[in-house]
Structure 1
C-alpha cells in the first residue's frame, strides 16, 4: 500500500466509567457498603484519572471474574430494567447518553463488582499499577489525508494561524482525500493503544497528542 501524508488533531478523550449506584453490595457490622462508596475509595486523584481508574478497575474485575458473569445474567437484568421503564426505556437511555449496548456493559460491570465483593478478594495495588501502565483510554482524533508532503505542510501552517477545530474541519473538507471522513471534519472512530487495525505510526502520533492539539509535522503512514 502506498504511503500517504496526514495531519491529525486530537479530540475528545472517550472513557467508560461506571455510574454511581446506591445498591447495597455488602453489609458489615459497621453498616452497609454501596457500589458508589466502593468506587469512591478509588477516587483519590483528579477527575480525569478518576474515570481512568474506574476503567482499570473494571479490566481487573473482568480478568478475575469475567467467567462468572454470563450474558444470560446481563440480559436478565437488562430486561428487568426495560420492563420497569416500559415505553420510556429508550428515552431514559438517551437522556443518560447511553445506548442499549453501553447500558448492558454497565450492567456487566456492576455484576463483576458484586462478584468481587462476594468473593471478598482484594484487588491489589500491583494489579492496578500493571493495568495502568499497559492501558491508555480511548481517544477520538480527526485527520486530513493527502498524497503530498508539501500539501500536509501547507495545511499545518494554516492550522498554526488558526488551530480551532472549526478551521480544521474546513481544511479537512477542502483537502482530505479520505472520502469517508472529510465531510465529517476528518473524524475517525474512537480507539486505544490495543487497537491492531491502525497503522502503528499513525497510532503513536495520535496517542501522543493533547486534546485540541495537532501534529506540527506531517505523519507518513499507510492509510
Structure 2
C-alpha cells in the first residue's frame, strides 16, 4: 500500500513538472550539492518506480473499462476499517505511510480488482491476459516492455504447445 502511494506521488510530481516546462534540462532542484534536472529526475523515477507504477495505471484503466466501484462502496469499506482499528486508526495508517486519501485509493483498487475477478469467474492473471489482448496494449518504452509478460507468456506458451 505504501509503495503505491509513493508511486502515485512520484507520477503526479513528474506529470506536473513535465506540464510546467518545455525542456528536459530544466532545473527542478538547486543546492550547493548541484542541480537536479527534470530529465535526471525522470530517469531516476523511471528506474525506481516506473514498472510497478505503469502496471498499476494500466491495470486500473483496463479494469475500469468493464467494471466499476462506487464511492459508497469505498466509503463503506473505509469506515469498516476505521471502526476495526478504533482509536489507533490514524496512527496505523500513518505508520504505513498512508493518508486517508491514499488509503481510499488503495481500497478502490482492491475492490475494483475483487469485483472484476468475481464477475469474470477467472483468476486475476487470466483476466488480465484477456483484457490486455482485447485492448491491444503495447508498451513502447523498451525498459518497460516486460511489465505484462507475466500475463501474456502463459497464454503464448499454451498456444505454442498445441
TM-score between both structures, scaled by the size of structure 2: 0.50
Instruction: Give the number of the structure with larger relative contact order, counting CA–CA contacts within 8 Å between residues 6 or more apart.
Output: 1
Q: Which has the larger radius of gyration?
A: 1
TM-score between both structures, scaled by the size of structure 1: 0.37
Q: Which has the higher helix share?
A: 2
Q: Which has the higher strand share?
A: 1
